[in-house]
Structure 1
């Protein structure tokens, strides 16, 4: 009886069939994240536009002003002190078999130089500090320092500086030449060279650095303590 009764019972329910998976729900991006990205894009585009606008304004101003290269020249040279002393030779105390040392001489010199800076532009120029080297026969003797300064438009400015050479020893050929030039020829030829850096100021914009070179050959008279010749660039000027 029990077996027949159990055969008519319905099968137990399958719980797995009644379990349903949760449907996938799409979560759209939040409105705050989208607005933040939009603000960043707008800000970047605005910065690019302002940069291009500023560059265009500067280019228009540069084309309208037509900036020119400034002029920086050596105008005057004044010999204040000059002295040449031959170094005592020790050949008298040397044995005859020992080679005599080369002759030597020391040079003392003080000269004042006046440079002229000319700005032909409609805007100001800012000069950086520079150094001018005084050389004899390719040997540096001293350095003249010129501090940086600002020059207004359409102006000419004089800059004074001095170089002091204090008992600089010259040996071998240089000593022989300078003693001969000073005692016999009454002339000492020096070279003054240096580079001046200049930048043009347009509103708050500074142009790239422009180099102005100075390269002059001068001849001074030790007896008269004066300048007798000056040559800068191509043309020479007798004084």
Structure 2
């Protein structure tokens, strides 16, 4: 009984606390780990700030040295192969509910790079509209252009029996048969990036917004206007 009582007392006796020196060592180690982690985070933060400031400084130096200018992308010439307008069969022209437009034209653009460095143009789609209705797309390929150079870029728009409905159809038939002038709009954005010393600038948008007028009788261009200035041809 005495042995059992002694064993029970040993089992239920609370554990002795750790020596004060051991507790002090654990607290010091924890404090050192926390300080080390804070130091690493601070160094990483300072490194990121330094790299950001360095990139800004390099960008400013390049801008001041190169003085980049926005490239120019204009519609130079329009070639008309054919433009045909046919009202819906069996319907009086004064009450046209639909009309079919067929179109085949070539577009010649001029890309001018006035900068001291090269430019990279992205592929783009320019839209051909009639009264805001998209008729077709003029695809412009991507290309690279050297400094202080001008390049010709051609594209083609082909539309086969596009169905123009309701009020636009009536006006289209009147424009083609009575006024002999079909007005189209060519619009869209061409993206360009300046490249210097292996660095590429952010994307710059060069807007294209032109109005062309085609004579169905002559099958030729009679008017072209891009931006502010217009040109009669």
Q: Does the C-alpha gap of structure 1 residues 186 and 53 become closer, same or farther in structure 2, counting only changes over 3 Å?
A: same
Which is higher, the Rg of structure 1 or of structure 2? 1
Q: Which residue pairs with 1:55 in the alignment?
A: 56
* Unmatched segments (≥5 aa) in structure 1: 1-20, 92-99
Aligned residues: 211
Q: Which residue pairs with 2:90 in the alignment?
A: 89
- Distance in 2 (CA, whole Å) between partners of 1:102 and 1:80 is 26
Q: Which residue pairs with 2:21 in the alignment?
A: 24
3-state SS of 2:228 partner: coil
1:40 CA displacement? 7.3
Q: Which residue pairs with 1:173 in the alignment?
A: 167
- Distance in 2 (CA, whole Å) between partners of 1:90 and 1:118 is 49
Deviates most, 211-220 or 48-57: 48-57
Do structure 1's residue 213 and structure 2's residue 207 form an aligned pair? Answer: yes
TM-score for the superposition, normalised by structure 2: 0.78
Is the Cα contact below 8 Å between 1:107 and 1:166 reproduced in 2? yes
Q: Normalized per residue, which structure has more helix? A: 2
Is the Cα contact below 8 Å between 2:96 and 2:169 reproduced in 1? no
Do structure 1's residue 235 and structure 2's residue 232 form an aligned pair? Answer: no
Q: Which residue pairs with 2:152 in the alignment?
A: 158
Cα RMSD of the aligned pairs, angstroms, is 2.8
Deviates most, 107-116 or 56-65: 56-65
1:147 CA displacement? 2.1
* Unmatched segments (≥5 aa) in structure 2: 1-17
Q: Which of 110, 128, 140 is residue 134 of structure 1 equivalent to?
A: 128
Is the Cα contact below 8 Å between 1:89 and 1:103 reproduced in 2? no
- Distance in 2 (CA, whole Å) between partners of 1:23 and 1:178 is 98
